[in-house]
């Protein structure tokens, strides 16, 4: 009986921790820019449900979305996936 209660409590804690993870609440266009070698990109700000604000950059005519600047390793093909990654802190 105690084992079942412990397993249930553990499952509830794991579920609630996942449901409270930060999520994007808004994505706002900031502006267009170019790198030093002339490569164009766009900058966006993502506001997260935990109050954090992160920068996204869009490359290749908005086909590649990165958390942070051009040197970022965290890039996605979809804006919303990049925004979710930014809010998770990746």
Q: Taking the CB of residue 66, how many other CB atoms lie within 10 A of it?
A: 21
For the record, the structure tokens of 28 come out as 């706002």
What is the Cα–Cα distance from 1 to 76, expressed in whole angstroms? 46
| Separation between Cα atoms, residue 65 and residue 80, nearest integer Å | 9
What is the DSSP-derived secondary structure letter of residue 51?
Answer: S
Q: What is the pTM of this model?
A: 0.73
- Secondary structure of residue 37 in the 3-state scheme: coil
In this structure, is residue 59 part of a structural domain? Answer: yes
Domain presence at residue 73:
yes
**Is 3 a domain residue?**
no
Question: What's the domain range around 75?
Answer: 22-88
Q: Does residue 84 lie in a domain region?
A: yes
Q: Residue 74 above 80 pLDDT? A: yes
Name the domain count of the chain.
1
pLDDT at residue 19, rounded to an integer: 52
Rounded average pLDDT over 70-84: 89
Rounded distance between C-alpha atoms, residue 12 and residue 47, angstroms: 28
pLDDT, tens digit (0-9, with 9 covering 90-100), for 13-68: 444 444 568 999 999 999 999 999 999 999 999 999 999 999 999 999 999 999 98
């Amino acid at each position: 009986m105690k084992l079942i209660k412990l397993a249930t409590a553990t499952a509830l804690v794991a579920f609630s921790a996942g449901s409270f993870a930060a999520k994007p609440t808004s994505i706002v266009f900031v502006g267009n820019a170019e790198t030093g070698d002339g490569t164009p990109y766009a900058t966006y700000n993502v506001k997260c449900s935990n109050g954090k604000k992160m920068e996204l950059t869009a490359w290749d005519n908005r086909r590649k979305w990165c958390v942070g600047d051009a040197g970022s390793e965290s890039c996605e093909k979809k804006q919303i996936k990049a925004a979710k990654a930014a809010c998770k802190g990746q």
